[in-house]
Amino acid sequence: MSDVVGHLIGGKLVVNAHDRSQAVFNPATAVESRLVSLASTTTVEDAISAAQTAFPAWRNTSPANRARIMFRFKELLHTNADKICQLIGQEHGKIVHDAAGELQRGIENVEYACYAPELLKGEHSKNVGPNIDAWSEMQALGVVAGITPFNFPVMVPLWMYPMAIVCGNCFVLKPSERDPSAALFVAKLLQEAGLPDGVMNVVNGDKEAVDTLLNDARVQAVSFVGSTPIAKHIYASATANGKRCQALGGAKNHAIIMPDADMDNAVSQLVGAAYGSSGERCMALSVVVAVGDEAADNFVVKMSEQMQSLKVGEATDANNDFGPLITRQHKDKVVEHINSAERDGAVVVVDGRDISIDGYEQGFFVGGTLIDHVTASMTCYQEEIFGPVLLVVRAESMQQAMDIIDAHEYGNGTCIFTRDGEAARFFSDNINVGMVGINVPLPVPVASHSFGGWKNSLFGDLSAYGPDAVRFYTRRKTVTQRWPSTDVREGVEFSMPTMK
């Protein structure tokens, strides 16, 4: 154990003596690598105060100057990419190539935020009435907060604070306490890019820190990504306290495989979508719904063959496909889901429960697992597993497959593999899911579009990043203005004013 991960408050790294702490582990070795300071209410309030103090000057900084800082920040992210990926690997276990992909998707959101002068222009109408002009402005909210999960310690925070900051807000980030170092390191790069002290703050912590952010009246909006039970709590608490809130929850993402699908292509696509990042993605493809037994049997055979070449191991070896799960407790949970599927009558075709990695025998590893003959009544199907486990459900028709997907409580992402354009269009038009792929297993929108599911996968009216982020982190003010002529004086009117 070499150091303590603290907080970034008002431009300074802080470790307060009254804060609690907990261990951070390398999940590949199960060895404690450092401690993380868990912010007390006082520490979080200090961060909010720093943001509140910085807000007036930052709000009045031009969008162009805000964007210039983001341009410099983007270059620093590229320059420090190896260090960032190393930190992700040490604390999350994500393989270096996967960490690089995570960082790149985050950088794309920084690039979109650089477009702030265009995104914040507002609207203008001249002479809407006699000598009357009207316009709208996109004004900053003030202090806003982000609460982010362990599975994307860099990318998900970059969904939030670059756009919040270029819109003129000041930010308090509460990253996951399980892998805090990468988020803190990246925040320091933003400061190095020229961001004024207090505009960006990071507080590491647990429920005490979260509750402080939710209850402090100075925090105007909260963004959250995590599990559905916590998302519901965040949304209910934030809105009850008068805050704007977007809370992204869990997922159970399905892929329909039609009888006419290019099966080899589908298998190649789905093996990465199901097992990449150990399945610890909210967009992980966790259920295949095969239409017809012939398609299902063919898929299971080909997927089983493809899985034989999966390489599981520690983060620094780029030849590995995926790494460990985040904690021993989460590993045990994933294994129990596999056990329950077997008890409920499903068939474990490829079993990753007893995997052992040479030199990393104590790590939190679960190998790629494929389970066939799963039904909608099984616990393994109903709940989000968040591990390298792919379930196969069999359907008799495309409509039955769609009904299975629509009946699930989650509506985050889905896809269909088919050569039939009519079927693909019908699917995308009618499926009750927020993000849809056509022969694309991970339909994660690019940075210029917004990310968000339906049903119990998203609480709030606006999705993450993209155009919705501009709307979420600003509020519209409409101004109607007239400068009366000195030569003409109008009389008193008591009727409702109209644009004559």
Q: Catalytic residue positions?
A: 282
Q: Select from 96, 153, 151 the least CA-distant residue to 313.
A: 96
* Surface-to-core class of residue 490, CB atoms within 10 Å of its CB (0-12 exposed, 13-18 middle, 19+ buried): exposed
Q: How far is CA 252 from the centre of its chain?
A: 15
**Token pair of 77 as six digits:** 């992210």
Please, which residues have CB within 8 angstroms of residue 466's CB and are 6 or more apart in sequence?
A: 112, 445, 447, 448, 449, 450, 451
CA 292 vs CA 154, 304, 393: distances in Å: 41, 18, 10
Tell the residue number behind the tokens 């093996």, with chain if given: 271
